[in-house]
Structure 1
Amino acid sequence: MKHNLLACLSLWVGTLVAQTPNNDPRFKNMDTYADSVLKQFHIAGFAVAVVENDKVIYAKGFGYRDYEKKLPVTPNTVFPINSCTKAFTGALCGILAEAGKLGLDQPVHQYIPWFRFYNDYTTEHATIRDLMAHRTGLPRHDQVSDFFDNAQPRDSLINRIRYLQPFTELRGKYHYNNLMYTVLGVVSEKITGQSYEQTLTERLLMPLDMSNTYLSAAGLMASPDHSLGYYYDEQTGKIMAGDYGNEPNPNCPAGGIVSSVMDMSKWLTAWLNGGKYKDKQVIPDWYVKEAIHPQMPIDNYSYGLGWYLSAFRGGHFRVEHSGTGRLSNSTACFYPDANGYSSPHRVGIVVLSNEFGDYATSLIRDYLSDRLLNEGRTDLPGTNGDWASWFPGYKTYYASNHKPNADQSANPMKPAPLSHPLKDYTGNYFNPGYGTIDVHLKGSELVARFNKVDLVLKHFTYDIFEASPGGRLRFTTDNEGKIVTITMPLEEMVSDIVFERTK
């Protein structure tokens, strides 16, 4: 009952903020700019909130949360925040460390004795901090969770890590890895004896009054003010609706939270005030400092604990994380004072969108950052179509997403024939890290079922097929000519993944 009351109060406060006229000159052209972003990037809708010190000074929705029904986005519209979830999982580890339940520099296997990496050294020495800072030596291996059967427990997912090949040694190099944050979620479960979702709700969401925040796609769809997910179809030139799904998410600690910009503003308020929210220490002060301190260098910026750290416009220390999903995108950032929490430029920005691709949310974030930090930029990017000059990365983005289809007819490749009849390729192929591929005939087509995903196989040349969607896979034979394996380039940082035939 209390949680429902908070939800109603949150909705009322969010509506009040949205309807209050904002005469701050820093937001003078925001409506025009937002309209330009919606049109240029073919986005259905997004929401923005800005926090200054401990107050929300701006919150507004643009476009539609339901494009077909023309239902508008509001500051309380719920979107997936995707990888912005990682800072929540990191903060939960800090809270558990404050309670004496774990140590950031203790080996992971101390809390999950059965957990293993590919090699013994990493198993024995990888710490909680190593996982949080993406420095275990593992590449992404995202397809492991992408094709994982969500009906299986979270333990089953992270048990596959022991079979995943690293690309460098422990602490040798930064490389982003979603699975490591799922491991952290399991650590919290083993320590507390309850689910990650329950612990996060009790230790973070409730103390921050984040009553419009959920930990599943089912929670998102149950919210009366939720956004559907969309993508832009280049062939038809239309914004198309997609399906978030309704299954449990074993990878929730890495990217499963759904929230609104009003709720996320409470999250940013705590970070801007040393972990305090309404004078209550929710996130330990020492952890806030650790999390926004560089843990692993990455070219001209670095990674902290669940946050990227950089210098905006060369002079403003920025703490940021973005999140990209199949049908949504998010970014949250804040600018703390390096000497404490009293800077006049102590601001936070959150942008949540219902369409794939991070350039639009990044543009909005940086546009607002310029104005809030008095960088003196008075141009309005995009209104004259000159996006590339304002945001260098957009030129590459636009070229890669709007290039004409290449004409393959001039020099077509003549495919070499298959070595076997199609039925000889059917069977089950297994990799302990990635799972099972069931290859079967569907009419005259060869189909590969990767857990619950069907990939239609089109012959390319020899025993190589194009998997749609998915890329190429290759069947190989033994010395007797029998088809025994499938190899797929599922992780570019290591050798092709091999699936051995089991029947």
Structure 2
Amino acid sequence: MKWLRLLALSVSLAAAGPALADPPGDLDARVEALRKQVGATGVSIAIVENGRTTLTRGWGVRKLGDAAKVDGATIFQTGSVGKAMTAAALAVLVDDGKIAWDDPVIRHIPWFRMYDPWVTREITVRDLLIHRSGLGLGQGDLMFVPRTNLTRRETVERVAFLKPKTSFRSAYAYDNILYAVAGQLIEEVTGKTWEVFMRERILRPGGMKHATSDSEDRFRVVNRSYPHARVSGPLRGLGPQELLNERDELGRNGAPAGGLAMSAEDMAAWLKIQLAHGALPGGGRLFSEAQALEMWKPVVTMPITPLPATLAPAMPNYQAYALGWQVQDYRGHRIIAHSGGVFGSITRTVIVPDRDVAFTIMMNSEDSGMLLGLYYMLLDHYLGANDRDWIKNWQDWYAERLEGGRSYLAQVKASTPVKVGPSLDLARYAGRYRDPWYGDVVVRSTPAGLTIDFTSTPRMVGRLKHWQYDSFLMEFDEKGIEPAYVTFALDADGSITGVRLKAANPIADFSWDYHDLDLKPVEEAK
């Protein structure tokens, strides 16, 4: 295709110029000054270039109230950056001859089902990784957000009840749930859990000596970062930085989508393998060059999100998803990248193949403006581009986004709901309601009012406060859980026929997919 030829030309021309081999001379001072300005807890950066590690170090502390410093060996939760490692685990199985990218999933998980029988038959291993299944954005994430008591197999079995939003392979929509299926597929093929296979075939052979794939292993690491977030303001991201409970992590059933913890030193080892197309520094291979190229190959076109004028140069001309990686252009260069985020930690990784450089930034807080500012500042440094004051511009963007959310919530709070309803006595709303993919949600009537309990998610409990008509505002006991509107549907005789939900916060993370629930009363439980 013409655009591929033009891209290849631009890459070859760009490759003629040497990369800047060393990190910016003032990087140490800039990162620390920014960290203090923002109030971020800790930061860690890994940089590799031309086959050598040029930086693995940290700034700040591992935990608020504790003097222990972040260094190059401190492990951070990396979120969806780990999707590329799940893809690499599958690539190892392709090299072993155990699977092929275009094998139907049911060849290896005979009991697996999608909502549509035709899709069940056609969906392939490749499809699990590239967000074109027909599911909606983040659909099914409530099965492991914010935590769960579901096993991975139970979660995969419930995928059969997720109604698609588009036809199969017709559109891009980011999901996590099919990476859980990919993890289950690894177990079905090898007899080893995703956690064990990752440790034995990816992390340790790849020289990632600090990295963990299992929660209990992570909790045993002394030099680990703790999660932090701003959860006491009017919406998440506002208010003082607070230490979160590290054991209240995303459900391990979804770990193949983002359950790895790694240090800067681990990331440097991983990035060297990526730049070497699967070759290990000491000889041998983690995966073949053919699979390395396959994982970087764009498959599904992604929509491009408009940005304000101050950030316009960051908008790509093309953007696509590969196998666990996002591929796009930036200043005429091909960029292989991915972001990651779990509660209290965020990460960004980038590879610039034609400059033979790659880096990762990890933070144990949710200050996205800082992360993106550092990311583009370093990217421009290694491309020899002029400084566009990325740190300030991204910080401003993040602040404006939060302010927009705050303003919206203030308007909602100031507005007067219609003083109509509820239609029934509160006790009549009580009952057990069931969604086929999530499970049961229980509404109880107490002397203090209605309460709600998401039974598949431990301690996801709260109160229902009447809003208007037959809608209630759901407020949780735990500050970090997004509130939502709960609306009961009634038939002509006043019987409840169903319940629908919607997040109250307009910029709530897409993983709070309340809107995908279709709760129906369980009559025998009343």
Say if 2:140 and 2:438, in contact at 8 Å, map to a contact too. Answer: no
Q: Amino acid of the residue matched to residue 178 of structure 1?
A: N
Aligned to 2:491: 478
Matches within 5 A, 1:155-166: 155-166=153-164
Deviation at 1:121, TM superposition (A): 1.6
CA deviations over 1:98-155 (Å, ceiling 9, x no partner): 1111110111111111111111121111111111111111112144323587443211
Say if 2:472 and 2:487, in contact at 8 Å, map to a contact too. Answer: yes
CA deviations over 1:416-438 (Å, ceiling 9, x no partner): 12112211111111111111101
2:78 is aligned, of 81, 97, 109, to 81
Matches within 5 A, 1:102-251: 102-139=99-136, 140-146=138-144, 150-232=148-230, 233-234=232-233, 237-245=239-247, 249-251=252-254
Deviation at 1:475, TM superposition (A): 1.4
Q: Which blocks of at least 5 consecutive residues in structure 2 are unaligned?
A: 1-19, 304-317, 476-481, 504-509
Q: Amino acid of the residue matched to residue 49 of structure 2?
A: E
SS in 1 for 2:187: helix
Aligned to 1:8: none
CA deviations over 1:62-100 (Å, ceiling 9, x no partner): 111112123221111111001011001001111101111
Say if 1:324 and 1:357, in contact at 8 Å, map to a contact too. Answer: no
1:429 is aligned, of 418, 429, 433, to 433
1:335 is aligned, of 352, 358, 370, to 352
1:396/1:126 Cα in 2 relative to 1: closer, same or farther (>3 Å)? farther
Say if 2:140 and 2:513, in contact at 8 Å, map to a contact too. Answer: no
Aligned to 1:359: 369
Distance 2:408 2:142 in 1: 32
Distance 1:380 1:258 in 2: 31
Aligned to 1:445: 449
SS in 2 for 1:38: helix
Worse overlay, 460-469 or 36-45: 36-45
1:25/1:251 Cα in 2 relative to 1: closer, same or farther (>3 Å)? closer
Is the aligned partner of 1:324 residue 2:354?
A: no
Say if 1:213 and 1:260, in contact at 8 Å, map to a contact too. Answer: yes
CA deviations over 1:144-203 (Å, ceiling 9, x no partner): 323587443211001111111111111101111101111011111000011111111111
CA deviations over 1:410-455 (Å, ceiling 9, x no partner): 7523331211221111111111111110111344131110122103
Instruction: Give the TM-score, by structure 1 length.
Output: 0.87
Identity of aligned residues (%): 26
Deviation at 1:479, TM superposition (A): 3.6
1:65/1:496 Cα in 2 relative to 1: closer, same or farther (>3 Å)? closer
CA deviations over 1:354-376 (Å, ceiling 9, x no partner): 11243322221221111122123
CA deviations over 1:252-305 (Å, ceiling 9, x no partner): 101111111111110111000011112221022111101111111113311110
Distance 1:477 1:407 in 2: 29
Distance 2:356 2:301 in 1: 24
Say if 2:370 and 2:395, in contact at 8 Å, map to a contact too. Answer: no
Distance 2:38 2:288 in 1: 39
1:74/1:416 Cα in 2 relative to 1: closer, same or farther (>3 Å)? same
Aligned to 2:98: 101
Distance 1:460 1:475 in 2: 12
Is the aligned partner of 1:465 residue 2:475?
A: no
Distance 1:413 1:205 in 2: 54
Q: Amino acid of the residue matched to residue 99 of structure 1?
A: D
1:65/1:479 Cα in 2 relative to 1: closer, same or farther (>3 Å)? same
1:124/1:405 Cα in 2 relative to 1: closer, same or farther (>3 Å)? closer
Q: Amino acid of the residue matched to residue 126 of structure 1?
A: I
Distance 2:472 2:454 in 1: 15
Aligned to 1:285: 289
Worse overlay, 225-234 or 200-209: 225-234
Is the aligned partner of 1:70 residue 2:67?
A: yes
Say if 1:148 and 1:435, in contact at 8 Å, map to a contact too. Answer: no
Aligned to 1:306: 324
Distance 1:398 1:225 in 2: 32
Distance 1:418 1:375 in 2: 60
Deviation at 1:246, TM superposition (A): 5.9
Q: Amino acid of the residue matched to residue 304 of structure 1?
A: A
Aligned residues: 467
SS in 2 for 1:330: strand
Distance 1:170 1:406 in 2: 40
Say if 2:140 and 2:162, in contact at 8 Å, map to a contact too. Answer: no
Distance 1:474 1:321 in 2: 37
CA RMSD of aligned residues (A): 2.5
Distance 2:126 2:22 in 1: 42
SS in 1 for 2:225: coil
Worse overlay, 468-477 or 278-287: 468-477
